[in-house]
């Protein structure tokens, strides 16, 4: 039995238009939109501005 590519989950994914969730670099969104790609921008930064010691202290507060 031969299965058409569009009849499988991976085939449907590969044949569909790409969608992107962008976390971080806002400039990347413009490039994607210029290519007519659906994109959602998530405004996210690492906890404590990336300071691992401060992030560990904040994590302890949450427990």
Residue 5 neighbours by CB under 8 Å, 6+ apart: 11, 14, 15
Beta strands, E only, 15-57: 19-23, 38-42
pLDDT tens digits along 15-25: 898 899 999 88
Q: Where are the domains of the chain?
A: 19-61
pLDDT tens digits along 3-58: 676 789 998 888 898 899 999 888 899 999 999 999 999 988 888 888 999 999 99
User: Is the Cα torsion angle 36, 42, 43, 45 positive or negative in sign?
Assistant: negative
∠29-41-49 over CA atoms, to 5°? 105
């Amino acid at each position: 039995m031969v299965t058409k590519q569009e009849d499988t989950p991976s085939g449907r994914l590969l044949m569909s238009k790409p969608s992107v969730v962008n976390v971080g670099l806002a400039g990347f969104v413009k490039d994607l939109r210029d290519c007519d790609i659906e994109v959602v921008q998530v405004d996210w930064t690492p906890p404590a501005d990336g300071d691992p010691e401060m992030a560990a202290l904040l994590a302890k507060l949450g427990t």
